[in-house]
Amino acid sequence: MFKRKAKEKKIKTPRFQTFRDAFAVTKQVKPWIAPALVAIFIATLALGIVIGISVGHPIYVGFIFLPLSFLTTLLFFTRVAGRAAYSSIEGQIGAGASVLMAIRKGWTTTPAVAVSRSQDMVHRSVGRAGIVLTGEGSANSVRQLLNDEVKKTERFAPGVPIAQVIVGDGEGQVPLRKLQKHLQKLPKKLTAHQMREVRARLKAVGGLSMPIPKGPMPTRAPKIR
C-alpha cells in the first residue's frame, strides 16, 4: 500500500509570458513570423469588411470579423510555433526527453535511464499504456541499449507492457515532432491504480543527470471547432 502524498501546488506560468517565450523561439527560427501575423490579421479583417460592403453593413460585419481575425492569427502562430519549437532543439542531446517531459497529462518521463559512451540514450515513460522506452542516437547502437534497458525494466516491473521507440526519420522510427502524439495514441493497458504502482516501483531506479534543451514545447495540437 502506498500512502498518498499531499499534492504540491503547481506554479503556473502566466499566459503572456508563455506566448512571449514561444514568440522569441519562433522568431529565431522563422524571422518572418511578425509580418506574417500582421498580414494574416489584416487580410482576415479586410475580407470581413469586403463582405460587409457587399451586404451593405461594412462596420457591423467588420466588427464580427475582428475576433475571427485574432483567432485565425493565433491558430497560424500556434502551428508555426510548434514546428519552430521542435526545430530549435532537433539534433541536441536530450531533445527527445524534452518533448516527452512536455506531455502534461497521463505520462511521467524519467530522462536518461541509460546512456552510452557515444551519447546514445534511453528515456523511460510510464502511462496507462504501460512503459515506453525511447531511444535517441545511432539506430544500430541504440537498439542494443534499448534491449538492455528492457531486461532491466522487466526485473523491476514484471508483467508490465513495455514498448520501444527510436527517435528519428528513418524507417520504423518516430520523428521528434510526432513523438508526443505517438505516445498519446498508444492503447491503454493499465488501470490508473496499476499505473501508479508501476511509477512507484520505478521511482527508486531513477535516471542520470543530463542537460535537457530548454524552451516552450507544444503539449497538444490546437483544436479547431
Of 27, 41, 35, the C-alpha closest to 215 is: 27
Q: Please give the grid coordinates belonging to residue 72.
A: 485565425
Angle between helices 33-55 and 58-89 (to 10 degrees): 160
- Say what the pLDDT of residue 135 is: 93
At 113-130, the pLDDT tens digits run 988 888 889 999 999 999
Q: Give the pLDDT score at 215.
A: 53
Distance CA 161, CA 198 (A): 11
Least confident of 10-14, 117-121, 146-150: 10-14
**pTM score above 0.95:** no
> Considering the chain, what is the average pLDDT of its residues?
81
Residue 12 has pLDDT above 80, yes or no: no
- pLDDT band of residue 208 (cuts 50, 70, 90) is low
* Phi and psi at residue 130, to the nearest 5°: 115, -140
Q: Please state the three-class secondary structure of 48-74 as a single string.
A: HHHHHHHHCCHHHHHHHHHHHHHHHHH
Spatial separation of the C-alpha atoms in residues 204 and 2, rounded to whole Å: 14
Provide Rg for the chain, Cα atoms: 22
pLDDT at 164 over 80: yes
Q: In what order do the strands lie in the sheet with 107-115?
A: 107-115, 121-127, 130-136, 162-166
Question: For position 141, what pLDDT does the model report?
Answer: 84
